Amino acid sequence: MLEKKIMDFLWQLKENNTKEWFESQKEVYQDAKQSFEKFIGILILKIAEFDATVSYLKPKDCVFRIHRDTRFSKDKTPYKTNFGAYIVNGGKKSGNAGYYFHIEPENSFIAGGLHCPVPAALKEIRNEIYRNPHDFVTQIEQNAFKSTFNELWGERLSNLPRGFDKNFQFSELLKLKEYVAFKKIDDNEIFEPQFLDKIVNYFNVTSGFNIYLNKILEK
């Protein structure tokens, strides 16, 4: 079970996003962070039951730091108002497709797939879709996938990338700049007794999609 103190801290941080306030609440932050990491440890074990590639991971391999990189941003607030963890073979910076959990006041969600792939990886995926569209479409057209995620989420190009036939049947898939299954989570859901089982089931639905994408990246 996720503890309510995690969301309580994030609400306070959202209203007091300054270094001075954060420093004064260091112990509260550490307590919330440890609670979140404990939950992620359990989540790793649950996901490992259907995706053994993540079985060796520890929470520290998956949980993102709360400090924002403000060097190239107009928003200079120093801290993220969320806790996020990317459970993926190789750890959160691996570049592989995996399972992401994000808790934030009024903006919690889970996601599977590949977010912001490097250009070479994006090119490989597009080429594979172009060569073997049926394999990709089979993944996203499964009933469980469609009923859970409806459609793929993410930024997309206005026009088809160069080198592809404009009459290609699945041209919209080639316009995607990332390949992500996304599902928003209501704040009230997070503290329900069945929440862990619910999101594990969502992640299970994305496991075949992740495995498919990672096989492309391994070529």
pLDDT of residue 150: 80
**Class of residue 142 by CB neighbours under 10 A (exposed 0-12, middle 13-18, buried 19+):** middle
**Residue 219: pLDDT over 80:** no
**Residue 206: pLDDT over 80:** yes
C-alpha to C-alpha distance for 203 and 56, rounded to whole angstroms: 18
pLDDT of residue 184: 96
| Per-residue CA distances from 20 to 7, 13, 78 (Å) | 20, 11, 10
pLDDT of residue 160: 95
**Residue 9: pLDDT over 80:** yes
pLDDT of residue 70: 86
Q: What is the mean pLDDT of residues 97-104?
A: 98
Q: What is the mean pLDDT of residues 84-109?
A: 97
**Residue 81: pLDDT over 90:** yes
| Per-residue CA distances from 85 to 12, 42, 99, 184 (Å) | 20, 12, 8, 15
Exposure pattern of 114-140 as b/e (b: 16+ CB <10 Å)?
Answer: bbebeeebbebbbebbbeeeeebeebb
pTM score, two decimals?
Answer: 0.95
Q: Which CATH number does 4-218 carry? A: 3.30.930
C-alpha to C-alpha distance for 129 and 150, rounded to whole angstroms: 19
Of 211, 47, 49, give the one whose Cα is nearest residue 139. Answer: 211
C-alpha to C-alpha distance for 84 and 57, rounded to whole angstroms: 15
pLDDT of residue 99: 98
Of 168, 38, 43, 161, give the one whose Cα is nearest residue 112. Answer: 43
Mean pLDDT (the chain) is 95
